[in-house]
Amino acid sequence: MSGNKYVFELPMRVRDYEVDSQGIVNNAVYLHYLEHTRHEFCRKAGTSFRAMQQQGIDPVLRSVNITYLHPLGLGQEMVSKLALRREGARFIFVQDIFTLPDMQPVVKAEVTVVCLENGRLTRGDVLAEAFSEYL
């Protein structure tokens, strides 16, 4: 988590339907938080998944590695942070979630995305151009 050069941050709050019977966020919900952060990052970068899809560009998940460090509860505030690097045709999103205001680590994740253009796997140069300011 430390040492990452975050290029995007998104504050969020745990909603009532995201907690389980124990009153903590269900493990699968963190994947939604991470995805929402990537979508908002794309918007900041000047594109959207809808716009990319209309151009025949489809960023797709290759892998997700997530480590759960501390549970979140109902109404708790958090910040989702994102760092990005490119390794060949792969875009690696390093995503960390922290509690607010104390910045306790909640989740550490590495999400690998590849790019399809018109249904064919590519090096993702169009996507790299969209993210050039952040790579």
Q: Is the model's pLDDT at 73 over the cut of 90?
A: yes
Show the DSSP H helices in the chain as ranges. 29-44, 49-54, 125-130
Query: Which residue would you say has higher pLDDT here, 52 or 97?
Result: 97
Q: Which of 20, 58, 96, 125 is catalytic?
A: 20
Convert 10-25 to b/e letters by CB count within 10 Å (16 or more is b).
Answer: bebebeeebbeeeebb
Q: How confident is the model at residue 4, as a pLDDT?
A: 79
Q: How confident is the model at residue 49, as a pLDDT?
A: 87
Active site residue 102: no
Domains observed in the chain: 8-130 (3.10.129.10)
User: pLDDT tens-digit profile of 10-60?
Assistant: 999 999 999 999 999 999 999 999 999 999 999 999 998 888 999 999 999
Average pLDDT, the chain: 94
CB 109 within 8 A of CB 96: yes
Mean pLDDT of 60-75: 97
Q: How confident is the model at residue 126, as a pLDDT?
A: 87
Q: How confident is the model at residue 3, as a pLDDT?
A: 66
Q: How confident is the model at residue 1, as a pLDDT?
A: 43
Q: How confident is the model at residue 2, as a pLDDT?
A: 52
Q: Is the model's pLDDT at 81 over the cut of 60?
A: yes
